[in-house]
Structure 1
Amino acid sequence: MGQRVVRVALVAGVIALALLLLPAACGGGGGGGDRTDERRKAGPVEPARKSAAGPVTRLAVPAAYTNRRGWEVTGASAEYAVAVGAGRVGYLERVSAARFRLRAVDAASGRTRWAGEAWRPLSDPARFPRLLSVAKDGREFFVTWSYGRVGEDALTAADMIVALDVYDAESGARRRVELPWAGAPAVNGSGPGILVSDGGADSAVVDPVTGRVARLAPKDLRYPKGCADCRTQTQVRAVTEKGVLVSGRRGFWVREGWHSRKAAPAGTDAASGVPTSVAGGRILARWQKKRGGAGAADHDVWAVHDAATGKALAKAECRRPAIEPGKYPQAAVAPEGRYMVAGSLGFDLETGSGHCFEEADGTKPLSLTAVTDTGIAYGTTATRTPVEADLTTSEPTALPANVHVPAVEVAGTALFSWTDRKDRPHLIAYARRG
């Protein structure tokens, strides 16, 4: 169901688009190579280390997992990406003071499947470049990106570019795309395309399969007829199978596809839809109830829509304002696509059921951040107590305070992020029991 990958962003600036496309390869990257004097000044850099015989760190974890089987990486990027269909995990490791390498490992065993050649990003080398994943036409990709100047003598915003390296998750074959971009960019891989946006109506979509770039200006967004509010607070939000998802002050639509006013759940104001998150080919949107309807004064309806058709797949009600505008939770979808969670919300997209995990007065909501194919979701309470919730019964259970909850599960393996006392990030994978 839908796209099977994990992770999103924000930008500024309006400029003409130019494209430099290098052939698919595992060759050198953008930003130039290291200089010998720079390496000498920086001194040696300790590479990321991977445990050879299972994880060294034994965190307390939910009962569904064992901390005795899995693998561990120390010192790699805190940000990682997952290709669910391929069963791969991608992470960045530092090769030198200014050069990095993307490595893809088997999610279950931790064995390296491929490692890209080292390259120097355009951004500050003191920080790891950004990393995300994207899927299209049954293929999965890891994408690293950075933002900076074209050359050493760049003087204006017109000399700034976004550099994206797109890796095939199976083979490691790499394609580079460079986009002139005047403002600080953010890159979104939540749909079957890589979205670069200015946080408003200007954007560019990169096809991960071909590397082609489509530039979109406000005039290209095809505002729905009769929707004056669609031209206010306009934002390009994500890429769907049918085109880009766009939102206005009251309403959202997919260009050349569908409009939210024709997809509003029963009992809601058709002009009130606000998309809050996109994941796995699904859109989570908030709706106001029709005036005068039961609960309209203090409840909102949250619905999950199919990104390709707009059809509402499941919905739930939450007391207002338990989820504040501007603080919308990021949605997460189970690997096979049946379940979705976002903050205090949990949905079964097969049965169409949804639940808001809150008290009757709207207090003590859960913040759910991961969900498995068994319908078990993980997260924390408002007091940071770890919890698990069964979406099939809508029953939450508090876990011991020292338990770490997984960020995602792939290939029967849960991933956990942990930072030790020396401030070193650890990526730890524990196997599911049984």
Structure 2
Amino acid sequence: MRIGKNVTAALLAGALIGTVSGCSSGGSKDGAPGTPTDVALKSKITPPAAFASEKGWEVRADWMPEGQPYPYALSAKGDTLAYLDKSEQGYVLKVREAVSGRLLSTSKPWKAPEPTEEQTEDPDGLLTVPRVSLITGGEREYFAVWAYGKKSKDQLHSAKEVISAAFYPADASGDIAPSGTADVEASAEDGATDVNVFPGARGLLVIPRSEDAVLLSPDGKVTPGISKVKLGGKPSDLNINIAFPGPDGLVTNGRLEGGIYSGGFGVDGGWHSATVTPPGVDSVLKGESASTGPWETPNGRINSATGNYLIAGWYTTSDNPISAIHDLATGKLRATAPCENIGTPYDLRTPKRPDRYETPAGLSPNGDYLVKGGSVFDLKTGKGHCVGEGKDAKEITLVSVGDDGTAYGLTEREGTEGNMPVSVSAKTGAAKPLPVATTTPDAVAKGAGVFITYASQYIRLIVLNARN
């Protein structure tokens, strides 16, 4: 997430209710762990046919500021869902079974940093609510609760802009404490105006200024001074616009020392894109500049990531771009689609769906299907499809995809028209309109769909069971 100090637009959607005893400041109530009390389904929405409108559970987040994205995260298998509640003592992380709504764990209240002046002045544009991100880790998964704001050491010290984080084991039960907490200064320096936060396998990568990065680990350890990587055997500056703490090292796009763009991507000290080039694609791009003469650079560039996969763009000799899905750990090619894929920004702004540029990638719970922007990929067959293209075709932005390969999204808005809900087959790429009143899922869990609604001046998290 990029925290733009001068940003006045609205946050990238994509990855966040109650005292510990269960009563939230906004009025929602939960029972003790193991009891789905007071999350009974009360709202009536019209979901796609794959989901049962009458069977599920919901949480009403009337404590949240209007216009802010609902912060939650699914486990890697998609069988549990973590979200925040708010009490007078702080934010509380709650984890439930996705299908039944059974409460598995409740964290002790966590105190987020105070809003900065920019956040206070633009509460409808900048993110003011903490995020919840999944950290896949090694043998254990974690949910990271993190926020940007200002914080002071004590009353005798001035407040500084920070990223604060608390990590909770995803498989913990009952009343839980964090496995680690950390703060890292996030003030822009030397004219910089942005701070980036990238969740990944080993924690949160925070880039508060210039090209230095700090890794916050689930045990609370802070590793500072990360600014250089080695890609394809050559030293490179860390790409501050996209870098992920992968299981075997930082994953990033390459740039030669001195800031000269070199192309290519890979893992620090590990695999490089030159060895995982898609068929029909040159591993090195060559050209000639009138001012500097001949040049060449490795092909390929990461533009997004989700789960254990990277989404990259490649240029071909015919100038027809290719989007490709690569395994995060090995770089192995998993699927391609004959179209360009727009990168996802990491901005601390409220989302403007269904803008392809602001919508993150979505992965099915079983890991067989992936969507990003206007592309859908079948990772079993290696084939991807481009949707919303062709003469007079409305642009389609895909948001989520289920285990059966059915993807869900919206068309672009034209004039006074609303966004038409659509479904797309990941196996064939065929798109079809859904009834205009249909609410499409924000994410698909294992055996359920996750729907975020903004009716009646407050936000609801609604989880509906999948039909058998």
TM > 0.5 fold call: yes
Which residue identity does 1:74 align to in structure 2?
R
1:274 equivalenced with 2:301 (yes/no): yes
Which residue identity does 1:281 align to in structure 2?
N
2:211 is aligned to: 201
Distance 2:308 2:59 in 1: 30
Contact 1:132 1:143 in 2 (8 A): yes
Contact 1:132 1:142 in 2 (8 A): yes
Shift of 1:54: 3.4
1:121 equivalenced with 2:104 (yes/no): no
Contact 1:47 1:94 in 2 (8 A): no
- Report SS of the residue matched to 2:412: coil
Q: Deviations over 1:62-114 (max 9, x none)?
A: 00011111001112652111114372211111212x72222222211112212
1:246 equivalenced with 2:284 (yes/no): no
Matches within 5 A, 1:98-117: 99-117=90-108
2:27 is aligned to: 47
Distance 2:41 2:389 in 1: 39
Distance 1:426 1:231 in 2: 43
1:83 equivalenced with 2:75 (yes/no): yes
1:179 is aligned to: 184
Distance 1:192 1:203 in 2: 14
Identity across aligned pairs (percent)? 26
1:38 is aligned to: none
1:415 is aligned to: 450
Shift of 1:429: 0.7
Q: Which runs of 5+ in 2 are unaligned?
A: 6-18, 31-36, 65-69, 189-193, 255-260, 284-297, 346-356, 414-418
Shift of 1:347: 0.7
1:377 is aligned to: 407
- Report SS of the residue matched to 1:261: helix
Pair 233,82 (structure 1): closer, same or farther in 2 beyond 3 Å: closer
Q: Deviations over 1:28-66 (max 9, x none)?
A: 9xxxxxxxxxxxxxxx94333467373100101100011
Distance 1:199 1:300 in 2: 33
Contact 1:389 1:397 in 2 (8 A): yes
2:350 is aligned to: none
Distance 1:324 1:169 in 2: 29
TM-score (normalised: structure 1): 0.79
Pair 308,179 (structure 1): closer, same or farther in 2 beyond 3 Å: same
The Cα RMSD (Å) is 2.9
Which residue identity does 1:65 align to in structure 2?
F
Shift of 1:433: 0.8
Alignment match of 2:229 (pick from 190, 214, 221): 221
Contact 2:206 2:215 in 1 (8 A): yes
Distance 1:323 1:86 in 2: 26
1:425 is aligned to: 459
Tell me whether 279-288 or 253-262 shows the greater mean CA deviation. Answer: 253-262
2:142 is aligned to: 141
- Report SS of the residue matched to 2:431: strand
Shift of 1:354: 0.8
2:221 is aligned to: 212
Tell me whether 337-346 or 147-156 shows the greater mean CA deviation. Answer: 147-156
Tell me whether 131-140 or 384-393 shows the greater mean CA deviation. Answer: 131-140
Pair 204,405 (structure 1): closer, same or farther in 2 beyond 3 Å: same
Pair 409,300 (structure 1): closer, same or farther in 2 beyond 3 Å: same
1:93 is aligned to: 85
1:398 is aligned to: 433
Distance 1:223 1:128 in 2: 36
Distance 1:285 1:412 in 2: 29
Distance 1:122 1:234 in 2: 24
Shift of 1:145: 1.4
Which residue identity does 1:244 align to in structure 2?
L
Q: Deviations over 1:175-228 (max 9, x none)?
A: 2122233346443224343222247632122332x333333432x31254568x
2:164 is aligned to: 163
- Report SS of the residue matched to 1:139: coil
- Report SS of the residue matched to 2:449: strand
Pair 47,426 (structure 1): closer, same or farther in 2 beyond 3 Å: same
Contact 2:165 2:183 in 1 (8 A): yes
Contact 2:375 2:387 in 1 (8 A): yes
Contact 1:203 1:236 in 2 (8 A): no
Contact 1:277 1:329 in 2 (8 A): no
1:62 is aligned to: 48
